[in-house]
Amino acid sequence: MILDKVNSPEDLKRLSLEELLLLAEEIRSEIIRVTAQNGGHLASSLGAVELVLALHRVFDSPRDRILFDVGHQAYAHKLVTGRKDRFHTLRKEGGISGFTKVSESPHDAITAGHASTSLANALGMVLARDLMGEDYHVVAVIGDGALTGGMALAALNKIGELQKRMLIVLNDNEMSISENVGALNKYFKELQIRKWVQDAEKLGKNILERISPQLFGLVDRAKEAAKLLLHQENPFYAWGIRYVGPVDGHDLKGLVHILEHLKALDGPTLLHVVTKKGKGYKVAEADPIYWHGPPGFDPKKPEKVSKGYTWSQAFGDAVTELAHMEPRLFVLTPAMREGSGLVRYSLEHPERYLDVGICEDVAVTTAAGLALRGMKPIVAIYSTFLQRAYDQVIHDVAIENLPVVFAIDRAGIVGADGATHHGVFDIAYLRTVPNLQIAAPKDALELRAMLKKALEVGGPVAIRYPRDNVERAPEGVWPEIAWGKWEVLKEGTEAYILAFGKTLKYALEAAGDDPRVGVVNARFLKPLDREMLRALSRYKLLTVEDHQRMGGFGSAVLEALNEMGLKPEVQVLGLPDRFFEHGAIPSLHRQAGIDAEGIRKALAAMGVAVVHER
């Protein structure tokens, strides 16, 4: 195999073009083989194979810095930068990350996972390079989806002004996870089909260049005019960024040729490459949405596998039904239609659905605008991605106590996506926000009850639920819920476990049938059920949550006890003050000590050693 001879990008420079083309196919097979075993971002990485090889052929990583936005399309990059022997550990505990990661390789220019960070990162790098008098290239590869992020567009604005030498490669496959959205996306599509724009531009430039040099000023002005005429709406020119393209992102020879030329240019250049998401694997080309991030599959007979009924689907079913009952309900997603369980809702209520693109800040503040004008918006958003819209939650929603519901999916440890994606900070960053109420349902029925009530209580409400399967709740059933009240699931004589959200099942498992240990579904964090807390304060208390220990549910309980002047023995179980890498959720929970075993250990340390039949 040619891949056997490739241990660094240097080795790519010694290959013939034919060998490079063969290598591309070997890399595709390896990506398919390992993703079939481990799961992962198959379609994105298959679509970027030629682009990655061309970049590493032309540039000199790690001296030159090649950044991959989101970093999920970089499997070929990992394979040619010395990690092919570890590639089979992709996304596994202790294995290599599914995204680029600075601590994993000198070839990984940024640690990524969240979209739209590459351009600002690249800007920082070129500023440092020039200030230190160093000389290397900085190349940022950004997808059309990631380019819908405000960070990326704002960075372009600054890059165009500063005119620093850098290359931006727009990897345009017209897809985010779902179909991409936005005016830029529409424009790129037109650019690709409006061949005449390219021909006219070529013709226009030839004619202009033949005008005699004496008329140099005129030529220059004419060129500017031609540019405006031919590209008047090309935003990159408006941003002061040289635009080249669109070119075929799978034509390895052509890409190498163009990159060699662009390498010599000064100032910022954007190369627009058109790729096919899932390229080279029929099922992934045909359905890049499912094959964006499949769980494992049989590479010989690739079929979609059902992940079972999830919290996301329970949410999607609930809001779809609610929207039939509440005409003012409006659901927004920042580019996560499938992930947030909104496919059915988007089909049944297209007029009250909006995918804003990868811009969580826009999603939240658009919801604020909807609420200000009488609608009842629900922002469906992953915990980790809500981090992108923290100021918007405070400034645009909470201060005016607007009725916006945040349906926070993937709350807690999420598994193979790792540290950039675990949703373990939202309680801490939300509970200090005045007016904002926070709840966590124990099952799909309680989720339905909370969603319905949240639309009635007024003000902003955050409802968080985990990446997990859940038992389906019957359609049409909307149980009542005592808002702000906890629920005793098991009485105890010595200690009570106060569990918030997903950890409730661990608490019930840990308590078993030991009469000394009670279990409370502490489903409301704000408002906290102080009445029940006061009543339980005569027992030993153990709080447990799938969230950072610092600032989480346990902290809220301690603060409330302190304010009430109560001093029971309390243990707080949560994630320790460090990042958790990728791995299986149960294993990471065990490491964090928040699973049934960890709870039993904590109870034993409090003198309540639960007898547990193995």
Ligand X SMILES: CC(=O)c1sc(CCOP(=O)(O)OP(=O)(O)O)c(C)[n+]1Cc1cnc(C)nc1N
Q: Does 335 bind ligand X (CB under 6 A)?
A: yes
Q: Which of 57, 277, 431, 452 is catalytic?
A: 277
Q: How far is CA 483 from CA 454, 474, 590, in A?
A: 9, 21, 32
Both structure tokens of 544: 């447990």
Question: Is 279 annotated as catalytic?
Answer: no
Contact predicate 501/464, CB 8 Å: yes
Q: What ranges make up the beta strands (E) of 538-610?
A: 540-548, 570-575
CA distance 583 to 39: 12
Please select the residue that binds ligand X; options are 56, 72, 77, 337, rule is CB under 6 A. Answer: 72
- The DSSP-derived string for 348-386 is H-GGGEEE--S-HHHHHHHHHHHHHTT-EEEEEEEHHHH
Shorter beta-carbon distance to ligand X: residue 177 or 439: 177
Contact between 247 and 229 under an 8 Å Cβ cutoff? The reply is no
Cα distance between the two ends of the chain: 50
Q: Does residue 364 belong to the site contacting ligand X (CB under 6 A)?
A: no
Q: Which of 40, 143, 160, 466 binds Mg ion (CB under 5 A)?
A: 143
Strand pairing class (138-143; 268-274)? unpaired
CA 314 – CA 320 distance, rounded (Å): 10
Nearer to Mg ion, 113 or 501 (CB): 113
Q: Which of 117, 118, 148, 173 forms a contact with Mg ion (CB under 5 A)?
A: 173
**Listed residue (176, 382, 399, 203) closest to 277, CA to CA:** 176
Considering the candidates 50, 321, 360, 545, report the single residue annotated as catalytic.
360
Q: Closest separation between CB of residue 359 and ligand X, Å?
A: 8
Give least dist CB 437 to ligand X, A: 25
| Comparison of 189 and 601: residue with beta carbon closer to Mg ion | 189
Known active-site residue 338:
no
Is residue 69 involved in binding Mg ion (CB under 5 A)?
Answer: no
Q: Is 146 in the site for ligand X (CB under 6 A)?
A: yes
Residue 59, interface with ligand X (CB under 6 A)? Answer: no
**Is residue 409 a contact point for ligand X (CB under 6 A)?**
no
Q: For the purposes of burial, counting CB atoms within 10 Å of the CB of 132, is it exposed (0-12), middle (13-18) or buried (19 or more)?
A: exposed
The HSE-up count of residue 195 (CA atoms within 13 Å, CB side) is 0
Shortest CB 205 distance to ligand X, Å: 30
- As a whole number of angstroms, the distance between CA 485 and CA 532 comes to 8
R_g over Cα of the chain: 27
From the list ligand X, Mg ion, none, which binds 177 (C-beta under 5 to 8 Å, kind-based)?
ligand X
Distance between CA atoms of 54 and 51, rounded to whole angstroms? 5
Q: Which is nearer to ligand X, 72 or 452 (CB)?
A: 72
Single residue of 54, 110, 115, 508 touching ligand X by CB under 6 A: 115
Residue among 57, 101, 129, 388 flagged as catalytic:
388
Nearest to ligand X of 146, 599 (CB atom): 146
Q: Between 101 and 292, whose beta carbon lies closer to Mg ion?
A: 292
Residue 141 binding ligand X, by CB under 6 A = no
Q: If you search the block for the tokens 């819209």, which residue do you land on?
A: 389
Q: Would you count residue 385 as binding ligand X (CB under 6 A)?
A: yes
Residues 21-50 that bind Mg ion (CB under 5 A): none
| CB proximity list for 239: less than 8 A, separation 6 or greater | 156, 157, 159, 160
Q: Select the span of 54-62, 67-75, 103-111, 517-525 touching ligand X (CB under 6 A).
A: 67-75
Does residue 201 have an active-site annotation? no
Q: How far is the CB of 407 from ligand X (least distance, A)?
A: 15
Task: For residue 175, state whether it binds Mg ion (rule: CB under 5 A).
Answer: yes
Q: Pick the closer one to ligand X by CB: 173 or 555.
A: 173
- Kindly list the catalytic residues: 277, 360, 388
Q: Which residues of this chain interact with ligand X, rule CB under 6 A? A: 41, 44, 47, 70, 72-73, 114-115, 143-146, 171, 173, 175-177, 277, 334-335, 358, 385, 388
Q: Which residues of this chain interact with Mg ion, rule CB under 5 A? A: 143-145, 173, 175
